[in-house]
A and B are shown apart, each in its own frame.
Chain A
Amino acid sequence: MIAQPEPQSAVIRVVLPAHLRTLARVDGEVQIDVKHPMTQRAVLDALEARYPMLRGTVRDHVTLKRRAFVRFFACEQDLSHESPEAPLPDAVATGTEPFLIVGAMAGG
């Protein structure tokens, strides 16, 4: 039996906040093809490649650090403070659950 090669990429579901959906001119969640390894950085790289107008809105252009009032949620967990290189939850990596990009609560 011949071993099947590992897939080189997978389709990831990403939910954008309303203002970024407007900017990217999309409705609802977006599906993007992401190369392995399946990390936060890989998702954001692929998102920005597909929607260049989002560059600089989720993370800084130069430092690539998450903007202060942007949060990353998935599988009912806050992944905002995870390393950009940490593997994403399997449910996100397999497209079962979406990766949520969220504008932080303003309070008040």
Chain B
Amino acid sequence: MSTVRLLIGTRKGAFILTSDGMRKKWDVSSPHFGGWEMYHLKGSPADPNRLYASQTSSWFGQIIQRSDDGGKTWETPGGEKIPGSYDPPAGVSNKFVYDTSAESGKPLTTHQHYDGTQRPWEFKRVWHLEPSLTDPDTVYAGVEDAALFRSTDGGQTWQELAGLRDAKGNLWQPGAGGMCLHTIMLDPGHPDRIFIAISAAGVFRSDDAGKSWRPVNKGLKSQYELPDPDAEVGHCVHRIAMHPSRPNVLFMQKHWDVMRSDDAGESWHEVSGNLPSDFGFPIDVHAHEPETVYVVPIKSDSEHFPPDGKLRVYRSRTGGSEWEALTKGLPQRDCYVNVLRDAMAVDSLDPCGLYFGTTGGQVYGSSDGGDSWAPIVRDLPAVLSVEVQTL
């Protein structure tokens, strides 16, 4: 019998939810890192017991946590004491320093700010951790201010892939949620290809393992957000998703608009179709049906809650454009929660399971591809991220 493990990041700690393959009864852990903002937790595809977690605080900054037993115990990588030494110790797993060296591609050192001035990059937090598909010790971190870092020693030390900021980084500017790199997708078909997405900058692609990058935003239109709606960079991409069997097909929830690319991001076209609102945050693809896509429409960018007080997941079985509301088991009145960009995930069982968390602290699950839903837990702190492991 399979086991399903949900890794939930919230405003006040992390929670691990486990169930058997039936996905009816769930065990909810007590909080890990209680009181800290847990932006994201994710397991290594190469070693599911190796987990990485981003732990942050306005007071005490960034911490990286690592587990080698599926989240039972955790450590700060490399944080062990060096006996009898006053020398700088090894505790640098939370040290994210932007690369300003000449030999690494002359990275830009300033970006556009709200007031039109150029401002230096300043590290704030890790939004997303993406473990390598093949090596448990290699992991990528998407950070605010937007940049991509990589560790090849299990999170002990981090190096910036600074070529990304050469992709018109001087034109990036923070959106209301901060200038964050929130999505990292490793292409299983092309080991050197990486996609990333940045709020208020767009999607970027590397075909040389992160050394050089270019924007891939052709076809995106941001009529009310940008002076030039077709600009090469500046689009507020909220989330992108792919099916691993078909990595050239990408789906995007943009600030407004749900988009699709059939050529690895070279061009995009809109597939919002009959959605009640094409604003939203998460987007995900069914584990076994590459044309089945899920979004959670949110009323607008000025009202971050579902239309009509009804929490509805929308499913397209046609790769977009034709959408159906999934409502069974979800609140259909008086519901005004949001679902954030990293807070939806699919398992790989058959039938496919879906999970999402809300800013109201509920985690909902479906074990039948979205046809019906039930709350797994109702009263967690606001949910920032949901990941699932099928063990």
Question: Which residues of A does B touch, CB under 8 Å?
Answer: 17-20, 22-23, 35, 45-46, 48-58, 61-62, 67, 69-70, 103-104
Contact = CB atoms under 8 A, between A and B. Distances in A.
B58 interface: yes
B79 A45 contact: no
Given A22-B33, A58-B60, 13 more contacts: A23-B76, A49-B81, A51-B91, A52-B78, A52-B80, A52-B82, A53-B76, A53-B79, A55-B92, A56-B92, A57-B63, A69-B58, A70-B60
B92 A61 contact: yes
Given A19-B36, A23-B76, A61-B95, A49 B85 contact: yes
A19 B97 CA distance: 24
B120 interface: no
Contacts of B76: 23, 53
Interface in B78-98: 78-82, 85-92, 94-95, 97
B95 A70 contact: no
Contacts of A22: 33
Interface string B44-78: 00000000000001111111000000000000101
Interface string B7-49: 0000000000000000000000000010110000000000000
Which 9 A-B pairs give the minimum distances between C-beta atoms?
A52-B91, A52-B89, A53-B79, A57-B60, A55-B91, A53-B76, A69-B59, A103-B59, A61-B95
A19 B37 CA distance: 12
Interface residues of B, number: 27
Nearest to B94: A56
B37 to A, nearest CB: 11
A67 B82 contact: no
Contact of A49 (B36, B61, B87, B92): B87
A45 B86 contact: yes
Nearest to B77: A53
Interface string B218-257: 0000000000000000000000000000000000000000
A106 to B, nearest CB: 8
A46 B82 CA distance: 12
B91 A53 contact: yes
A50 B59 CA distance: 21
